[in-house]
Amino acid sequence: MGKSSKKKSFIFFIAIFALLTACSSNNTSTNKNAETENHSNAGVEEKGKTLRLGYINSTGNKDKDKPAVSGAEGWALNKGFLQEELKKIGITNIEYFSFPNGPNLNEAMASGEIDVGILGDTPALLARSSGQKTRLIGFANIFQDIWLVTNKKNGVSSLEELKGKTVATSNGSYMFRYLTGLLEENNLLEDVKIVHLLPPEAAAALERGDIQAYAFPTYMGPKHVKLGFPLLHQASKTTPHLTGTSVTIASEKFLEQNPEFLSVWTDTRERAVKDLKEHQEEFYQYVAEVTKQDLDVVKESLPLNNIREENFPKEGLELLEGTKKFLVKQGLIKKDFAIKDWMLKDQ
Amino acid sequence: MPIKENVQFQVAKPKIKITNLSKSFNQGKNTLNVLDDINLEVQEGEFLTIVGSSGCGKSTLLRIIAGLDSSFEGTIAIDNQNIKGIRADIGMVFQDHRLFPWMTVKQNIAFGLEKVPASEREKLVNEYIELVGLKGFEKARPGELSGGMSQRVALARTLVKKPSIILLDEPFGALDALTRIQMQYEILRIREQANVTMILVTHDIDEAVLLGDRVIVMSKKPGRIQKTISVYLSRPRDRNSRDFVKIREKILNLFFDTNVSLNKSQEKISLEG
Amino acid sequence: MKKTYEYYILPVVLPLLLVFLWIYLTERELIAPYLIPSPKTVIHTIVQFIEDGTLLQDSWASVKRMLQGFSLAVFFGLLFGVLMGLFARVDQFFAGILNAIRVIPPLAWIPIIILWFGIGETSKVIIIFKSAFFPILLNTIQGIEGVPKGFLEVSKLMGVSKRRTLFNVIFPAALPSIFVGLRLGLGAAWMAVVAAELIASDSGLGYRITQGRELSQPDAMIIGMIMIGIIGVAMDAVIKFIQQRILSWQAGIKS
């Protein structure tokens, strides 16, 4: 009696285990950083193609019902412009993928898990230089600001005091480019330790005194200043050439498969920019809602002047060129390339 | 030569006196009587062999005498003192040589001599290496020795402490038949040098008769002394002599009911156990 | 002659084939360069790293951390291992908690370690310590508990002092197991280096790998991995050598 019931329970447990493994493997996505949401509008058929869109959400908050795409692109999605126009060219479905930083988005792009991505210029440039087959299809935002913030206790009161100390930012991002550029211009690059930390982890590290300063991106910057962290330096105020840009890239494969996509994207975006400038409050409310940030934080992060109608504003290209040169100089870009070879402009 | 049975030496003080020794333990509902009311006297200088099949408690008895096992009923007196634990002058040799593989032969033999001053230690060790016939192997490690050699080292290790009692628990059981015979003669030779009381446990009847002044035959379930047989043959003993064979037969018959050998002894072929 | 073939030639065949495959795939661009960089790029970067000293710096930073964590693990692992192996009460006292800590993998400990100890060197060393501690502890306990009772009986019979029994019988008998623990611990410590260097580092081979990931530099990633592999193998060889010397009395088993 003892032996056969032992055998039965053994088989039973193996079966349960196998079942659970089989079930869970169906739900695992290969990209751990991705959150898949099907933001379907009413009346979406499963028949057409899917656009897999990646974007950065560095706030640490998870998206609830709406993907946290901000800017004109987000506005276009919110108003439904994009979905309408995409349907016309056979793209009936959009899947959204959120990433905490640029490098992670790059990985997804490299492994073919997303088609279009909105991310900082620095990671986009680095990915391209390492051979990723993407095309730059426009600027989402220019003069993107960075806030270099310190701590009340164990902090510093000037840039020079950072000598021999530790600062952190998100590695490989446009904040990273700003930070390195700023330190280099002040001859501090050799004497300051730069470590990698994501924005949500920065506050604790600042409080503990592990780091003496952190370079925050949009939303997180003004948010922490509001929380009382002293502002050491702000890119747009004194060093606008160190500000970043937010770019949109698309995989060459996707563009080949959807030749009309580029003009749809460009036109829709233009339309959305015009529209949001006429409905500023509404726009900011929307961004505040999806990013779960305070309204004033949002307003400070996204001056409307930085959202241009043209896809390739001149200042954007200049900033991008400047960033690329810097990265080449620092040895981070080994194989230089021409931006105009990378751009794909709508004719 | 007459065979006398169950005779005790009439000497006033036996070296070892075991009285009413019993050991049992419970396995669930059953009580196993490992040893049941053992009474035994061992004279000084005597060579006692204990023979019995496995499970008769002979090894347990030895371990109790050695002091490795303290849970028993009854008394053991050595030199008239009741003992229950380890005593200083009892040495024991086991079936597995238990030499420390990380020490050399010399270090193994010297192991128990920590209280002896260094110079004397050196002398003693060399003496006994030679005694057991291992001169030249001082620096060898147990891993390099054969079974027989290892047992000799084990013997030397015990002898070097000059114990007054040596217990041997199937010391040659792990050796091949030829080496075993060789070692039996070695033991006798070594014994000539020192008048030490020895108790040897074995399952080999031949060995028991060859070596022992008296042979204790034990039965099992429960472990009891079945019979004590004195071996009056003078040494060196001839395995094939008539008297030897008779004693062996007698003991063999205690284990097997059927009357095997009286007829077969007519056709006399040496039976090696 | 035959021995030379087996000993020297066979082990090299597979690695060589893989290298040729690598060169072929990248030269013919059958695999995208951002997934697997060409050997040329990798060699170029290695040379660069050697010239500007990053290779040495990173390697040393990682080895140093590992040594710090490992030596702590050796000290406490042996200490607790011996005490818990010898004394049942000590074992029962600590076993429960230690076991619970052990089954939670180092990676799961990182968030709380950062919370309590910050993002500096301390946290990294703690993670490495935790990884190496348990193999050493468990194997030491096993070594001590596994000392043949026969040896202890001999010691007892000979009236040898407890101290000598401990140092001349128990420790040597336990040494083979202890060495197993040390080797496993060393391997675990080295593997933990990468995990530890995820915590806000600015140096080290693990850092080089994550940095390579963040800056889209697969060549840096690969170099980091290669170095980790080489150093790991070298350290294991060293310990194995030491083991064979000290435990030479065990020889004869494998011939």
Which 3-state string (H, E, C) describes B39-89? Answer: EEEECCCCEEEEECCCCCCHHHHHHHHHCCCCCCEEEEEECCEECCCCCCC
Q: Tell me whether strands A147-150 and B30-42 are parallel, antiparallel or unpaired.
A: unpaired
Do chains A and C meet with 3 or more Cβ pairs nearer than 8 Å?
yes
Q: What is the pLDDT of residue C153?
A: 93
- Same domain assignment for residues A120 and A211: no
Q: What is the pLDDT of residue C183?
A: 94
Tokens of A68: 């946290």
User: Is the Cβ pair C159, B66 closer than 8 Å?
Assistant: no
- Same domain assignment for residues A299 and A151: no
- Same domain assignment for residues A177 and A56: no
The Cα–Cα gap between A95 and A51 comes to 6
Question: What single-letter DSSP state applies at residue B1?
Answer: -
- Domain-embedded: residue A11: no
Residue that is last in its domain, among A216, A241, A266: A241
Looking at the structure of chain A, the number of domains it has is 2
- Same domain assignment for residues A235 and A258: no
Segment C76-90 mean pLDDT: 93
Query: Residue B140's closest chain C neighbor by CA?
Result: C249
Q: Residues C190-249: pLDDT tens digits?
A: 989 878 887 778 889 988 888 888 888 888 888 899 899 999 999 999 998 998 888 887
Query: Which stretch of DSSP H or E encloses residue B244?
Result: helix B242-255
- Domain-embedded: residue A17: no
- Same domain assignment for residues A263 and A276: yes
Tokens of A75: 């506005």
**Nearest CA of chain B to the CA of C165: how many Å?**
10
Query: Residue C122's closest chain A neighbor by CA?
Result: A210
Residues forming a β-bridge with B106? none
Contact C137, C181 (CB under 8 A): yes
Residue that is last in its domain, among A241, A262, A296: A241
Strands (E), A197-344: 213-216, 231-234, 244-251
Q: Write the residue in B86, B98, B143 that is nearest to C159 by C-beta.
A: B86
- Same domain assignment for residues A49 and A192: no
Q: Say what percent of chain B tops pLDDT 70.
A: 89
- Same domain assignment for residues A272 and A204: no
Q: Residues A231-283: pLDDT tens digits?
A: 999 999 999 999 999 999 999 999 999 999 999 999 999 999 999 999 999 99
- Domain-embedded: residue A2: no
- Same domain assignment for residues A180 and A33: no
- Domain-embedded: residue A334: yes
User: Is the Cβ pair A334, C118 closer than 8 Å?
Assistant: no
Q: What is the pLDDT of residue C1?
A: 56
Q: What is the pLDDT along chain A (347 residues), one digit of tens a residue?
A: 456 677 777 777 787 777 776 655 544 443 333 444 444 444 444 568 899 999 998 887 777 678 889 899 999 999 998 999 999 999 999 999 999 889 999 989 988 899 999 999 999 999 999 888 999 999 999 999 999 999 988 788 899 999 999 999 998 899 999 999 999 999 999 999 999 998 888 998 998 888 999 999 999 999 999 999 999 999 999 999 999 999 999 999 999 999 999 999 999 999 999 999 999 999 999 999 988 899 999 999 999 999 999 989 999 999 999 999 999 998 888 889 999 999 998 76
User: Is the Cβ pair C158, B111 closer than 8 Å?
Assistant: yes
The Cα–Cα gap between B155 and C103 comes to 48
- Same domain assignment for residues A151 and A78: no
- Domain-embedded: residue A4: no
Give B226 or C3, the one with higher predicted confidence.
Answer: B226
- Domain-embedded: residue A13: no
* CATH number for A185: 3.40.190.10
Q: Which domain holds residue A191?
A: 145-241
Q: What is the predicted ipTM? A: 0.82
Residue that is last in its domain, among A241, A262, A286: A241
| A126 at interface of C, judged by CB pairs closer than 8 A | yes
pTM confidence score = 0.76
Angstrom distances, CA of residue A144 to CA of A107, A329, B194: 23, 22, 101
Q: How many CA atoms lie within 13 A of A13 on its CB side?
A: 5
**What amino acid is encoded at A108 in this protein?**
A
- Same domain assignment for residues A223 and A306: no
User: Is the Cβ pair C216, A132 closer than 8 Å?
Assistant: yes
- Same domain assignment for residues A261 and A306: yes
- Same domain assignment for residues A112 and A179: no
Dihedral (Cα; C171, C173, C174, C176), 10-degree rounding: 120
